Amino acid sequence: MTKSFWGFADRWVRRVRAARRVLLALDFDGTLAPLVDHPSRARMPATLRRRLGALTDRCDVAVLSGRSLADVRKRVGVGKVFYGGNHGLEMSGPGFRYVNPTARRLKRHTGELMRLAQVAFRGVGGVHLEEKGYGLSVHYRRVQPEQMVFFKTVLSTLKRKTHARAFHWTRGHCVWELRPRVRWDKGRALRTIWRHRGRPFVIAVGDDATDEDMFRAAVGRGFAVKVGSEKTRAAYRLSRQGEVLAFLKWTLDLVRRIP
């Protein structure tokens, strides 16, 4: 059973200090930024950005997002961070660059898939389509309840049209994503950065289904924290996104005490 992090925070103090090096891995939407009705409106609070910047002086920080690499880097806007876009298919950071080779090869199909989606959802109000270089997202948070049956019918038709391609569909918070069918996710991305940085102690924080891969990667390397009330593999939980700022303060106070 997942427990509130604050009731167990003290048990990790000695473990983190003994590790000497820490890698803090975070999701963006719903973790660093509150969820909003349109992806273009997502903003990270300035106080949280300052705290994240202070953390980069004391430990490694990675932000792994479903957004494109350029988009998440722009929205976070903090230097010395390891950024991962498209769930880690493309990553960059201090002395580090990675693009999944299979995703790079499949990238040429993204435009065609986007055109198929634009035609399919032309008559569905409230849908926002986002091309992300290595895939696309179908955001439906603004779809009205009376149109949800129509939306699901159109989505099912689009899935059938794309099922034979080298892409697959995954679901997040009010979004369906068409991603390259490769053995890659946020967990593999996290392990790649972890090895690059010399196997530090891992703290993973996220709110969405795709963050569960990060949480699995944290097992045996540190611990994971789920933001929100949904079912999770993480051992600990923050009840809402507003607690992330306090969690970053706890982490900063702790890593500042590492010798």
**CA end-to-end span of the chain, whole Å?**
34
- Give the CATH number of the domain where residue 129 resides: 3.90.1070
Same structural domain, 7 and 95: yes
Same structural domain, 127 and 224: no
DSSP 20-70: --EEEEE-SBTTTB---SSGGG----HHHHHHHHHHHTTSEEEEE-SS-HH
- Give the CATH number of the domain where residue 37 resides: 3.40.50.1000
- Residue 181: pLDDT band by 50, 70, 90 thresholds? very high
Q: Which of 180, 209, 228 is the last residue of a domain?
A: 180
**Mean pLDDT over each residue of the chain, to the nearest integer:** 95
pLDDT at 29 over 70: yes
pLDDT tens for 116-132 read: 999 999 999 999 999 99
Whole domain around residue 198: which residue ranges?
3-99+184-255
3-state DSSP assignment of residue 236: strand
pLDDT at 255 over 80: yes
Per-residue pLDDT at 78: 98
pLDDT tens for 67-117 read: 999 999 999 999 999 999 999 999 999 999 999 999 999 999 999 999 999
How many CB atoms neighbour CB 119 within 10 A? Answer: 11
pLDDT tens for 135-177 read: 999 999 999 999 999 999 999 999 998 876 799 999 999 999 9
255 and 246 Cβ atoms separated by less than 8 Å? no
The span from the CA of 202 to the CA of 208, in Å, is 18
Percent of the chain with pLDDT over 90: 93
Catalytic residue among 27, 207, 208, 211: 27
Rg (CA), the chain: 19
**Is residue 207 annotated as part of the catalytic site, yes or no?**
no
Per-residue pLDDT at 164: 66
Per-residue pLDDT at 20: 85
